[in-house]
Amino acid sequence: MSAAPLDGVRVLDVSTLFAGPLAATFLGDFGADVIKVEHPLKPDASRGHGPAKDGVNLWWKTLGRNKRTVTLNLGQADGAAVLLELVRTADVLIENFRPGTLERWGLGPDALLAANPALVIARVTAFGQFGPYSARPGFGSLAEAMSGFAALTGEPDGPPTLPPFGLADGIAALATSYAVMVALRSAEATGRGQVVDMAIIEPILMLLGGQITAFDQLGTVQARTGNRSVNNAPRNVYRTADDEWVAISTSSQSIAERVMTLVGRPELVDEPWFSSGHSRAQHADELDEAVASWVAARPTAVVLEEFERAQAAVAPVYDVRGILADPQYAALGTVQTVDDDELGPVKMQNVLFRLSETPGSIRFSGRPHGHDTDEVLDEIGITAQQRAALRERGIL
């Protein structure tokens, strides 16, 4: 098997919580040597998010996988000096401090690029590096609100709805890892690094479709439609006879025709308005009633079998138990079991995609705070005696 595609790329992850660290995880999954730098007394706050077992945080086992962990107080001059030594050996640095923080510590882009002219510096913040909001604290939830996502989510007569997980952070993490790869390609060609300015409010906005262009050209403002879509119908979740739920979508015309034929309403296919998703969406009440009544009369297994036989699109609405039992996820290897020094075997999501020649892998799960400090600093020539002195002064 060939080496991992990012083998030889070193990433310094000095970010906290989700968007920046998750971007570093994506890079580590495909072979990058990710060094997670945390404050000696204040670990990444994500270590305290979500459930724990015997005092061991469980989300960190996924978020921190494939990362060596180092403690370093960057706010002290000697800590900043150690980071600059690490920078000389690195290809990428990911940070998410408020704009101006690294500069105040003498670690702004000028200093980092002076130490390593080919370095890619990814700066991940809520609002970006400039503008009237740039100095504000912010999290993904604010991006979900400002982007229009919350305004579109929820029932028509209900409040705007935020997701119960870090959606905007996750989207920004994907965008950041892509931006880093683009910048690395440029550095490979030119020998010059650069700064990636990633504002969490922007990538999620891109995924919300053509609402800006529609407002610009038509003056329309998209409203909340619950599980329905303004672009096609039927599209909803439907309760089965055994009190479970299935999701049905008809984004293509042929699928819409198959669904209505299957549920015993083929005459609707001949209606003039049935010929496009947009016009079908204007008749969602009638279409939903036909589909819902058919689904409600049958158990989930029968609904899924009949839809598969008709080559129509359907999926069960899973919680985590359904995911772990599903044969498609099992065939893809979407969930992997990883040996962990603290917890033993641990299940987690696999890497994002499969490469035929240079696949990614989970080499190890998230490690304890500062687990690899001595190993990493030894690699850059900081002796055991020097490390002891730095520890004494709270730098490590």
Annotated catalytic residue: which of 29, 33, 44, 169?
A: 169
H/E element holding 299? none
Amino acid letter, residue 48 = G
CA distance 327 to 63: 25
DSSP for 137-160, written as a single string: ---HHHHHHHTSHHHHSS-TTS--
DSSP for 198-230, written as a single string: EETTTHHHHTT-SHHHHHHHH---PPP-TT--S
Other beta carbons within 10 angstroms of residue 281's beta carbon come to 20
The tokens for 182 are 């683009």
Q: How far is CA 124 from the centre of its chain?
A: 13
Q: What is the dihedral of CA 352, 356, 357, 363, to 10 degrees?
A: 40
For residue 9, give Cα distances in angstroms to 31, 32, 100, 326: 8, 5, 27, 35
Residue 248 three-state SS: strand
Nearest to 150 by CA among 234, 208, 237, 231: 208
In sequence order, what are the beta bridge partners of 45?
none
The tokens for 180 are 């880093």
The sign of the torsion formed by the CA atoms of 220, 225, 231, 232 equals negative
Decide if 169 is catalytic.
yes
Residues recognised as catalytic: 169
